[in-house]
Structure formats: structure tokens, C-alpha cells
Amino acid sequence: MQQNEQMAYDRGSTIFSPDGRLYQVEYAREAVKRGSVSIGIKTAGGVVLLAEKRVSSDLLVSDTIEKIYQVDDHLAVAASGHVADARHLVDYARTESQRNTYMYEEPLETDTLAKRLGDYIQQYTQYGGTRPFGCALLIAGSTRGEPDLIESEPSGAIIGYKAAGIGKGRSDVEGRLEQGYEEGMSVDEGLTLALSALLERDDSSMDATEAAVVDEDGVRMLSHDDLKEYMPDEADEENGEDEEQEE
């Protein structure tokens, strides 16, 4: 009986169930949970973004998989969930940033972009004939000269974070972030913590990761070789043991 009642309300994104739930929005959140993990950490010097790429085949070119997108010179986002939905939202964010610069001759602030994205996402939960976006974004940038990290979710809600993870294994990642995060930590320390939170998951590998730092100088994308400098000590020791065994 309960399942039949749910089916009566889960076919439309605009219909509330008697207990006040929008099932289509909840299903969109589940799509985010199935996506590969992305991590954001706010530090004293800027915001660190780290994203895991899901490489399903040795024949796949990993460089063609994008999880971190540059929106403007001072803004970037990391995504988790449906990649096509994320790409559409990134295009919208880029347009809004360019429009703001053209109209007001000043860069778009991070919190303003997050609010505009949230309003845009929320519209897809309010009108018939649409479905919610099946992705979440970590928006990184500088708000009035200070680093800022904001999450947008499929409902249109936006939440500011000091450190956050989205995607599969979010609870494990955020548990590690809660243990290691410190106010005023440096960008280097933030990168090490993000890598540590990612690599502690059993199914994660540094070979398929993407990273960026958003600071007062703009958006800086990091290569795989750059990330090796920030490997946590525990991972270095494990890699050393693996090399000895192979020899």
C-alpha cells in the first residue's frame, strides 16, 4: 500500500507527497550519490578542488573526462553526478559571469553566482515538463577578496562549507575532512588533506584525479605530476612497499 502511494506522487517533479516530499528531487540526490567523488577545501590562501575520474576501461582517454570546470578567471566548480547536467549548469554559470562583467564591469562574486545557480536549479523543481538536475556542484572562488566554497544541490539549496565532499562515499570523505581540517591551513596542507581523504577510500586511485586551486591569482589547474608533491606520508609509504614487492 505504501509503495502504491509513493508511485502516485513520484511521477512529477512538482507534486508534493502527503508527507511533504518531492520524490523526483530525492531521486536526483541519489544520482549524485552514485557519481564519483569531488572534494573542496577552503584554506587561508584559496580554495582547493579535487575530483576523482571514473575510468571504466583501459581504452578510455582519461583527459577527456572533465570533473573540474573553470567558469571565469576567478571561479571554478567541481561536479558530481550526471556529467551532461553539470556541463549545462557550467555553461549557464559562464554566461552569468560574462553578463555580470559586461553590465557592471566587475567580476561576479562567488555567493552571487551560487544564488543565481540555485534559483535556476530550483525552477526545474517547480514547473511541469522538466526534471531536476541530477548533479551537485562545489563552487569555488573569491567573495570580496576572501576564499569561498559553496555547494549547490538538485533541490536548488546552496550551502557554504569550510570543507566538503560530494558524490559516492561522501560520508567517509567528510569524516576524514572533519578530522584533518584546521582553520587557516595553507593551500599545500589543503591539497594533502584532500588527497588523503580521497586515497583512504578503497576504490580510489591518484592515477585518475583532477585538481585545481582558486586563489587571488585566479584558477590554477594542477597536473598529475603536480599532485605527487602533495601525497600524504601514508600513501608514500604504501607506494614504496608496493614497489619493493614488485622488485
**pLDDT in 10s for each residue of the chain, 247 residues:** 455 556 666 777 788 888 888 999 999 999 999 999 999 999 999 999 999 988 777 888 878 889 999 999 999 999 999 999 999 999 999 999 999 999 999 999 999 999 999 999 999 998 888 899 999 999 999 878 899 999 999 999 999 999 999 999 899 999 999 999 999 999 999 999 999 999 887 666 666 789 999 999 999 999 888 888 898 775 554 444 444 444 4
Does 121 map to a domain? yes
Range 49-59 burial, b when 16+ CB lie within 10 A, else e: bbbbbbeeeee
Does 17 map to a domain? no
Does 243 map to a domain? no
Q: Is the dihedral of CA 55, 69, 127, 25 positive or negative?
A: positive
Based on the structure, what is the number of domains in the chain? 1
Does 8 map to a domain? no
> What's the CATH number where 192 sits?
3.60.20.10
The residue ranges of DSSP E strands in the chain, in sequence order, are 38-42, 46-52, 68-72, 75-81, 135-143, 146-152, 158-160, 163-166, 209-215, 218-222
pLDDT of residue 30: 96
> Domain containing 137: what range?
36-232
Does 197 map to a domain? yes
Residue 57 C-alpha cell reads as 576501461
Does 13 map to a domain? no
Does 20 map to a domain? no
pLDDT of residue 200: 85
Q: What pTM value is reported for the model?
A: 0.89
pLDDT of residue 232: 77
pLDDT of residue 237: 47
Does 246 map to a domain? no
Of residues 21, 23, 16, 25, the one with CA closest to residue 136: 25
pLDDT of residue 4: 56
pLDDT of residue 224: 81
pLDDT of residue 15: 84
Instruction: Walk across the sheet containing 209-215 and list its strands.
Output: 163-166, 38-42, 46-52, 209-215, 218-222
pLDDT of residue 1: 43
